[in-house]
Chains A and B, each alone.
Chain A
Amino acid sequence: MNARGRMEKLEQSLGDPADPGSPLGFAAILAADERAEMFAEGERALDAYGLNAEFVPPEYGGRLTRLDDLAEIMQSVYRRDPCLGLGYGTSSFIAAVNVWTSADDEHRRTVAGLLLGNRRVASAYHELAHGNDMGRTEFEAMPGRGGLVLNGRKEVVTNIQRADALVMFARTDRRQGSRSHSQILVEKEGLAEGGLRYLPRFPSVGMRGVQLGGVEFRDCLIPGDSVLGTAGHGLEVAMRSFQITRTLLPAMMVGILDTGLRTAVGHALSRRLYGGVAADLPEVRSTLVGAFADLLACDCFGLVCARALHLLPRQTSVLAAAAKYAMSGVMSEAMHRLSIVLGAQSYLREGENGIFQKLMRDLLPVGFGHAARAACQMTILPQLPMLARRSWSTADPAPAGLFRQDADLPPVPFAQLSVTAGGQDSLSAGLAGVLEATSAGADRDERRVRDLAGRFLAELRELTETCADLPPGERTFAAGSDAYDLASRYTAVLMAAACLETWRHNRDDPFLGNPAWLIAALGRHAGRLDGRTPELPEDVEKTLYAELLDRHEKGVSFGLSSRRFAGGSR
């Protein structure tokens, strides 16, 4: 079955979440969340669908062929219950990507077998004392007693207790340096009694159902062949494989914003106020259209970066960090503004709009989970001078396939992902391409597109000047806020380029080819960059508002692909 068919099948098997009588709907999801439990009915439905197969490459029996499709499939899970998204899905996906990136055939078969049998594999990196500073990891796996001996703790790790196997980030060499860590595969079956002890669950603000736990190993012996790939290469494997997950997690979480917006539209259309409905008020409309435009920009950037993992794998160290940084910021802000439309309804834990407060809490980790926003800036910052000198004025534009959903993509090239982008950036080169493809004498909308492209190209030129000679002290974690800001501004340029190029390469598409969405998305984006509240042209806002209501009425996604969801409007 092709990916569109699978998306349809998953939607149908999970049903209309807004249907109050549905055993898989928001009412049941909220009840599980109140109990701080994973949503058991939902997990059974995902077992029946075989969601884990989406995380396994075809040569190992799964369906992981395209990362852009995977993002969309997972949006169907996240738009209902982000706890299922993380606690059933991405926790195992993160572990699996480590395995596909570095492990030998036997380890791959073991992990594929577990996942295809609906089992869980947890990804155990985190230690409270070190956060994203992976080089300081203390948990160790040292040679001894004819195998590897495990000692130390992992904390705040999803599914660590209920998983059948763990991919653990461990120190395998006591010397300092970047070749002192490895990923190890720990299968729980057969572990010696008393070698490990689980720590109490960590209660959390959002993702309440997700089982965040910890583990402490004491002199626990595991087989000597448990290291994934080359011993000592763990930091490199993490930096490479996380490019996939840093891109995909926020791209999947666009589903959360979709339901947030759907809930707000439903409320605004039904809430009677001053002799009309809330949706009649210009300010409410502007907020809804703004969130729609932000969602489209995020979906666009996420899907483009997901395809970049296939087509430009040497450049994704920067793109993945940019995707995580930019999307998390835009989505969190959009969700906050929607909460103002909902008012007190955003605060109630049950009833028709009760799902909103849960989604708002569940969205929070997009800013710190898996990689904090500051860690994303720090991935980009030391690369800025290289990018400025080697690419920003001279690079060739990216291939058209990066921007088209119907493009042929090669299999995920796990082995080609690199620790840095080496100063290569083909995405921002598209800004100049859009200027060339549009004419100043064209119709009004094309002139607007051209102006926006010019705005972001000017930003890139400014960044080029500032970044080319950024002093060494401003390229490390000790850099000042101005330097961190350069990284943020660059992510804004990349997001704009992704949107502009998507429009340019899809002019045959009835929705994407009409520049209204692009003018709205980039108008808002430029406003953020300039630190002002953006106002969209009246005709653009009107077009998008009509589109928003139409999609809401028909139960169609608010994302780029306008695909049909299960169930109609609320």
Chain B
Amino acid sequence: MAEPLTGESADVLRTWLAERIAVFVRRPAAEIDHDVPLGEYGLDSIAAVGFIAEVEDHLDLVLDPTVLWDHPTVNELDAVLRERIASASDVDESA
């Protein structure tokens, strides 16, 4: 389901996040600054619910929409999602 997230494709997740956000806020992805809180692009708490659901399906993770409230930029979200992916695969291996 998820793309591999190491080496050359390290930016794949970040790019995907920005592209999906762009769809939700109806702007070109190039306009989404990765360090600007997404609320400033109009991604409100309602849109956040739909967006986080897409992230869950894409990465096969269980997330709470509040993850976006606590990590409101593309870069912050990218970082926390990588941690979650790493810890989820640890659990898979130990299972």
Tell me the A residues contacting B by CB distance below 8 Å. Answer: 135, 175-179, 235-236, 239, 378-379, 381-383, 385-386, 389, 418-420, 422-423, 472-473, 475-477
Partner of B69, one of A178, A385, A386, A475: A178
Report the separation of the CA atoms of residues A178 and B24 in the bound assembly, to the nearest whole angstrom.
17
Report if B11 contacts A (CB, 8 A).
no
Which residues from B are CB-within-8-Å of A420? Answer: 49, 53, 64-65
Beyond A177-B37, A477-B44, 18 extra complex contacts between A and B, CB < 8 Å:
A135-B44, A175-B37, A176-B40, A177-B69, A177-B72, A178-B72, A179-B69, A236-B66, A379-B46, A381-B46, A382-B50, A383-B49, A386-B53, A386-B56, A386-B57, A420-B64, A476-B24, A476-B46
Partner of B24, one of A135, A381, A418, A472: A472
A230 to chain B, nearest CB (A): 11
Which residues from A are CB-within-8-Å of B47? Answer: 382, 472, 475-476
B74 to chain A, nearest CB (A): 14
Contact: A422 with B69, CB < 8 Å? no
What would 11 A/B residue contacts be, using CB atoms closer than 8 Å? A176-B37, A178-B69, A235-B45, A381-B46, A382-B50, A383-B49, A385-B50, A420-B64, A472-B23, A475-B47, A475-B50
Which residues from A are CB-within-8-Å of B40? Answer: 176
Contact: B39 with A177, CB < 8 Å? yes
Which residues from B are CB-within-8-Å of A419? Answer: 49, 64-66
A419 to chain B, nearest CB (A): 5
Q: Would you list the 3 A-B pairs with minimal beta carbon distance, nearest first?
A: A178-B69, A382-B50, A475-B50
Report if B17 contacts A (CB, 8 A).
no
Which residues from B are CB-within-8-Å of A385? Answer: 50, 53
Report the separation of the CA atoms of residues A422 and B26 in the bound assembly, to the nearest whole angstrom.
25
Q: Do A178 and B39 contact each other (CB < 8 Å), given the known contacts A236-B66, A382-B46, A475-B50?
A: yes
Contacting residues of chain B (35-92) with chain A, CB-CB under 8 angstroms: 37, 39-40, 44-51, 53-54, 56-57, 62, 64-66, 68-70, 72
Report the separation of the CA atoms of residues A77 and B25 in the bound assembly, to the nearest whole angstrom.
46
Report the separation of the CA atoms of residues A473 and B62 in the bound assembly, to the nearest whole angstrom.
23
- Interface size bracket, B side: 20 to 34
Q: Do A382 and B26 contact each other (CB < 8 Å), given the known contacts A179-B69, A235-B45, A418-B64?
A: no
Report the separation of the CA atoms of residues A378 and B49 in the bound assembly, to the nearest whole angstrom.
11
Report the separation of the CA atoms of residues A177 and B69 in the bound assembly, to the nearest whole angstrom.
7
Report the separation of the CA atoms of residues A386 and B53 in the bound assembly, to the nearest whole angstrom.
7
Which residues from A are CB-within-8-Å of B70? Answer: 179
A170 to chain B, nearest CB (A): 17
B43 to chain A, nearest CB (A): 9
A554 to chain B, nearest CB (A): 48
Specify the main secondary structure of chain B where it touches its partner. helix
Which residues from B are CB-within-8-Å of A386? Answer: 53, 56-57
Report the separation of the CA atoms of residues A475 and B24 in the bound assembly, to the nearest whole angstrom.
9
A421 to chain B, nearest CB (A): 10
Report the separation of the CA atoms of residues A382 and B68 in the bound assembly, to the nearest whole angstrom.
15
Contact: A473 with B26, CB < 8 Å? yes
A499 to chain B, nearest CB (A): 28
Report the separation of the CA atoms of residues A235 and B20 in the bound assembly, to the nearest whole angstrom.
24
Which residues from B are CB-within-8-Å of A422? Answer: 62, 64
Which residues from B are CB-within-8-Å of A236? Answer: 66, 69
In the complex, which of the residues B47, B51, B54 has the most CB atoms of chain A within 10 Å of its own CB atom? B47
A321 to chain B, nearest CB (A): 12
Which residues from A are CB-within-8-Å of B49? Answer: 382-383, 419-420, 475
Report the separation of the CA atoms of residues A373 and B43 in the bound assembly, to the nearest whole angstrom.
22
Report the separation of the CA atoms of residues A389 and B57 in the bound assembly, to the nearest whole angstrom.
10
Report the separation of the CA atoms of residues A236 and B69 in the bound assembly, to the nearest whole angstrom.
10
B64 to chain A, nearest CB (A): 6
Report the separation of the CA atoms of residues A475 and B65 in the bound assembly, to the nearest whole angstrom.
15
Q: Which residue on B lies nearest to A379, using beta carbons?
A: B46
A121 to chain B, nearest CB (A): 26
Q: Which residue on B lies nearest to A136, using beta carbons?
A: B44
Report the separation of the CA atoms of residues A378 and B46 in the bound assembly, to the nearest whole angstrom.
7
Which residues from B are CB-within-8-Å of A178? Answer: 39, 45, 48, 66, 68-69, 72
Report the separation of the CA atoms of residues A381 and B46 in the bound assembly, to the nearest whole angstrom.
9
Report the separation of the CA atoms of residues A179 and B69 in the bound assembly, to the nearest whole angstrom.
6
Report the separation of the CA atoms of residues A473 and B37 in the bound assembly, to the nearest whole angstrom.
20
Report the separation of the CA atoms of residues A101 and B62 in the bound assembly, to the nearest whole angstrom.
23
Which residues from B are CB-within-8-Å of A475? Answer: 46-47, 49-50
Which residues from A are CB-within-8-Å of B20? Answer: 472
Report the separation of the CA atoms of residues A477 and B48 in the bound assembly, to the nearest whole angstrom.
12
A213 to chain B, nearest CB (A): 28
Report the separation of the CA atoms of residues A298 and B92 in the bound assembly, to the nearest whole angstrom.
45
Report the separation of the CA atoms of residues A250 and B53 in the bound assembly, to the nearest whole angstrom.
29
A225 to chain B, nearest CB (A): 23
Which residues from B are CB-within-8-Å of A389? Answer: 57
Which residues from A are CB-within-8-Å of B69? Answer: 177-179, 235-236
Which residues from B are CB-within-8-Å of A177? Answer: 37, 39, 69, 72
Which residues from B are CB-within-8-Å of A473? Answer: 23-24, 26
Partner of B53, one of A176, A378, A383: A383
Which residues from A are CB-within-8-Å of B56? Answer: 386
Report the separation of the CA atoms of residues A529 and B39 in the bound assembly, to the nearest whole angstrom.
37
Q: Which residue on A lies nearest to B43, using beta carbons?
A: A476
Report the separation of the CA atoms of residues A389 and B60 in the bound assembly, to the nearest whole angstrom.
13
Q: Which residue on B lies nearest to A317, using beta carbons?
A: B49
In the complex, which of the residues B23, B39, B48, B53 has the most CB atoms of chain A within 10 Å of its own CB atom? B53
Q: Which residue on B lies nearest to A475, using beta carbons?
A: B50
Report the separation of the CA atoms of residues A178 and B67 in the bound assembly, to the nearest whole angstrom.
11
Report the separation of the CA atoms of residues A243 and B50 in the bound assembly, to the nearest whole angstrom.
19
Contact: B50 with A472, CB < 8 Å? yes
Which residues from A are CB-within-8-Å of B65? Answer: 419-420
Contact: A135 with B45, CB < 8 Å? yes
Report the separation of the CA atoms of residues A386 and B57 in the bound assembly, to the nearest whole angstrom.
9
